[in-house]
Every structure is written in C-alpha cells, then in structure tokens.
Structure 1
Amino acid sequence: MELSNRDKAEAIQNSIETETLAEIGLISPTSYKQHNPNVATGLQAILGLHDLMPMDKVYTNVVRKFQDGDYGFVHVDYFLFEPTVAFDIHRFENGISVEHWDNLQTNPKKLNKSGRTMTDGKTKAKDHHKT
C-alpha cells in the first residue's frame, strides 16, 4: 500500500530519531532542496546533522499531519538540539520529497498565558467538506 504524502512527511520526520532517513528512501538523493537557511541542501547534509545532535536525547512526536496535493506537512514536538516545536512541509515528486521547509521554535515546555501549550488541542481534522 502506497503511503499518503502526510504519512511520508511523518515518516521522514520520525526518521530523525531512528536515524533511518537513508534507509526509508523518501528523500531524493539528487535533487532535495532545503529551505532552512541553517541547513545545507541535499540528503547528505541532512544525514550529517545526526553527527551534531545529542542523539541520546533526540525524540520526535508528530502531533498532527496533513496533506494538500503534492505537499505533506506535520506539526512536530521534537528534541533536536533543544526542546523544539515545528511545522515541517515536504513537496513530493514521484513519491519522494524534493523540497523541505520548516518553521522551528524553542518549546518552553510550560503553559502560556492562555493556559495552552504549543501542541495541545485537537489533533484530527473534521468536517473536511468545510475546508
């Protein structure tokens, strides 16, 4: 069964924790463009991040996942270099990611003034006919 683009985006982001990005084959080895100015373009640059991260602390928790056509995007609670919350967006061609954008923010791990965290709330989209 073919994975949906939202499931592929989830698998890519989860592969950070499991260090299986190369094995899952969901990133183009030749034409992957990274839109994070702090990370070089290309699969090897992404794999090289594992050498820099404190892998004994790294975790990924995909909280929400969505897709729109060729795009899969996920809302993720991470520990990369520090507690982080992100939206990661992948554009897929022929079943593999060829482009990636992210928006990362340090997770303060506490409630805000409204009594909410950065990831709480509903996790399933409903009423798709209204969106």
Structure 2
Amino acid sequence: MIPGGQSIAGLAREHHVSRGAICTAVADLVPVHTTDHQDSSAPELPVTLDMPGKVADFLRMAELDPAEWAALDQGVTVRRGQGYTLRVSATSSVHCQLLARCQPLDGTPNAPAIPAQRKALREYANRVNTLGE
C-alpha cells in the first residue's frame, strides 16, 4: 500500500505501467537509511556547573590536561560572600576528570582533610554526579 491509500497494483493499472516500475519509483523517493549514519554519536554538549572557589584554587595548582585548563580559564568568577564560585562550561567528561583530580581535598593518609575544602569538594561532586542521571 502506497501512502495515500492506493495499492501498487492499482497505481500500475491507472498509469499503464508495471508494478515493478511503481516499486522502483517509490524506492527512489524513500531516503536511504544506513547504519553508519545511525551509529554515529552526536558530539557532547558543554554543561555549565558552579565550581566552589576552594576547588578551583586547588585545581589551578594541579597538573591538568589542555581541555581542563581551557575549561578553568574560560570560567566566569561569581562573588559569593567571602569566597567565590567559578561558573565552568565544559563537557560532562571534563567535569568528571576535574572531579577526579581534586580527590586529595577529601584527605589522604599524609595530609588530613580541611573541613571547608571537603565540603566544597562534596558540593562540586554532587553537581557533577547529577550529570550522570
């Protein structure tokens, strides 16, 4: 059945052509679907998250990848009371990498955690973890 409700055989009779000719004409009008097009993934879009200033300060002293540096450099500083927040636009994978790099703020055997830094890390981790949901 052709869209419009008429059968292929009916169209063939109406136009005095073979059913094969109708099928070929219809097949030429239908867009080709390839698996290559369907399997290609869309590029990851940037997500804007607020990073506490204590986390941003720590990351600026760490060794970062170029994409991580770019995200921090392009961040917008927003003053908040005594401290600040850095509004960072980056892909979710870059946010996850930044979060992984600042895990020492949670404390290590050689350096105990500072409560304010630990809280800042927890806030950023909560924001990054919402991206995965």
**Structure-2-length-normalised TM-score:** 0.25
- Structure number with higher strand proportion: 1
**Which structure: larger Rg?**
2
- Structure number with higher helix proportion: 2
